A and B are shown apart, each in its own frame.
Chain A
């Protein structure tokens, strides 16, 4: 019997058969044993995984997370007393650095010939900063003045990066003009595509970009068009390929891990502070297979498709999800009462 099946059966037994009547009063699911998600992607909620002393390690919005090859987890926050927090996998906060990133948002880790680097996307500084894992600044990618699309650096409010195998940096201008800007690793401007508009290749709130390496020979870019509730696929040359609809889900960045793509869904209904977020999992065919804390999509039928929605208030505004090699998830939240990241243990 597979471990997962065993767990399911154990769960059935514990809620079904031999419970004395008195326990019925005590039966209600406590937070510690709440399981969320669907199908093969179910998780036990560990809300306090990353809890830390707010006097020592203050956070405002917890924006994004990335893991290095030794298993350390880096998290970006826009609190300039410590923009980057470094956790071990057990949720212990080991160190912190960074005081110069007022809009620390996107956080992408890239392995460059064995050495790992972070790319911090700062929408307040209007630039992307490449650093070593301990915060030494390596290079700054400023607004693409030569693209002809930007009148001033303040029009550029980037939210995310994806790094191509050759070191090219794709920057999503998600709070600015919604272009995807491609720089060479040396900082030379190579391409600008997407941008605001109504066409299929246009973007509206291009909040995230990720390299989709699941089809090894032919990687593509996944770009969130958050207000449209869709992911758009582009070739690395910037050609529009197709759209994955995620009706109702205001998705943050795509996170590719194994055969899946994970999303933190910030909200599932307007307004933006509706605290209606959840987590979403796509399978290798880009079908929604699980929504921890949310509903699954309807099967296609004659009636109009219903949007996805939050079902249980585990999260308020999830902003990023990190998946480790065992399929456990780590969730950072925006505008959620300065909470530290949570963990979803796969069961």
Chain B
């Protein structure tokens, strides 16, 4: 009897699995007010709203970067964000496959280091000039609209950004905010490096370098990299963000240079 029950359960699970994968439509992901009405870079705290207007559907979310499931917290009202966090949310419904996750990264900036000077060693593309170097400092993220003036775009070139800090400061983390939108020829960076020097123009040596795992098929996302730095005292700092390189073979622009899009670079204590 038990065996019969077991195989019945197994059969039902398989059937459920089959139906869930082959037969049902998938929901789209929940909507968030980040990018529409709100900026995810904040000082003290902020409220984030989610919504998904579809009869019988609900929103499940996490704040630790993990993928939500049916047992994750149920969204009922705007969430208070009090520190840097990653919000991940999905739409779920008994009759449909759950949505892909939507993810928003929040950056708290209470311990921001304000540069005394800042400049780009190489200008960005004339097509995506943003507001020049201010784009990297204004703590206003760009979003899906590439021409919003909030992105700096580089066609097959690296970003090289130099800033002067008060000599007493020792940055503890580097934050680089980027875009990946392969359909628009925009790919994530390969590597981020930071160098430091006592002098404005010479003597820069590497403090840290991060090889990023760049996928052959990156997804559409706004990605913020927060990279730890060992304490080091210097007046001049140089951040290098390395572009993806040639577009991969599957891409319609195969072999041509990928674009690099960056909208914020922050040094934190």
Q: Is A284 an interface residue (CB 8 A)?
A: no
Q: Which residues of B contact A304 (CB under 8 A)?
A: 36-37
- For window 1-58 of B, CB contacts with A under 8 Å fall at 12, 15-16, 19-20, 23-28, 31, 36-37, 51-54, 57
Select B19's contact among A28, A295, A307, A310, beta carbons within 8 Å: A28
Q: Which residues of B contact A45 (CB under 8 A)?
A: 25
Docked Cα-Cα span, A274 to B220, in Å, equals: 8
Given that A270-B144, A313-B28 are known contacts, is A30 also in contact with B12, CB under 8 Å in the complex? no
Q: Which residues of A contact B255 (CB under 8 A)?
A: none
Given that A306-B51, A311-B54, A312-B54 are known contacts, is A29 also in contact with B96, CB under 8 Å in the complex? yes
Given that A28-B94, A311-B54 are known contacts, is A272 also in contact with B27, CB under 8 Å in the complex? no
- For window 66-119 of B, CB contacts with A under 8 Å fall at 94-96
* Chain B residue at minimal CB-CB distance from A22: B12
Interface residues on chain B, size class: 20 to 34
Q: Is A301 an interface residue (CB 8 A)?
A: no
- How many A-B contacts if CB must be within 8 Å? 76
Convert B133-149 into 0s and 1s, putting 1 for each residue whose CB lies closer than 8 angstroms to a CB of A: 00000000000111000
- For window 148-200 of B, CB contacts with A under 8 Å fall at 181-184
* Chain B residue at minimal CB-CB distance from A307: B36
Do residues B54 and A295 form an inter-chain contact, with CB atoms below 8 A?
yes
- For window 106-151 of A, CB contacts with B under 8 Å fall at none
Docked Cα-Cα span, A270 to B181, in Å, equals: 9
Q: Is A39 an interface residue (CB 8 A)?
A: no
Q: Is A70 an interface residue (CB 8 A)?
A: no
Do residues B28 and A310 form an inter-chain contact, with CB atoms below 8 A?
yes
Do residues B28 and A311 form an inter-chain contact, with CB atoms below 8 A?
yes
* Chain A residue at minimal CB-CB distance from B146: A270
Docked Cα-Cα span, A312 to B95, in Å, equals: 11
Extra inter-chain contacts (4) besides given A25-B16, A27-B95, A28-B96, CB under 8 Å: A29-B96, A31-B24, A270-B146, A312-B54
Name 5 interchain pairs, CB-CB below 8 A, sorted by A. Answer: A25-B16, A270-B144, A274-B183, A306-B31, A313-B27
- Cβ-closest 7 pairs across A and B: A273-B183, A270-B144, A29-B95, A30-B23, A310-B28, A311-B54, A271-B181
